[in-house]
Amino acid sequence: QVQLVESGGGSVQAGGSLTLSCTAVRYMISSGDCMAWFRQTPGKEREGVAGMYTMRWYAESVKGRFTISRDNGKNTLYLQMNSLKPEDTAMYYCAVANRGWCDSHSWWRPADYGYWGQGTQVTVSS
pLDDT given at position 92: 98
H helices of 11-102, where? none
Residue 126: count other Cβ atoms within 10 Å of its Cβ. Answer: 8
pLDDT given at position 27: 87
- pLDDT tens per residue, range 50-64: 999 999 999 999 999
pLDDT given at position 120: 98
Please name the residues in contact with 97: beta carbons below 8 A apart, sequence gap of 6 or more.
Answer: 33, 34, 35, 36, 53, 107, 112, 113, 114
Q: Do the Cβ atoms of 5 and 25 come closer than 8 Å?
A: yes
Average pLDDT, the chain: 95
Q: Tell whether the model's pLDDT for residue 99 goes beyond 90.
A: no
- pLDDT tens per residue, range 77-91: 999 999 999 999 999
pLDDT given at position 30: 87
Q: Tell whether the model's pLDDT for residue 49 goes beyond 90.
A: yes
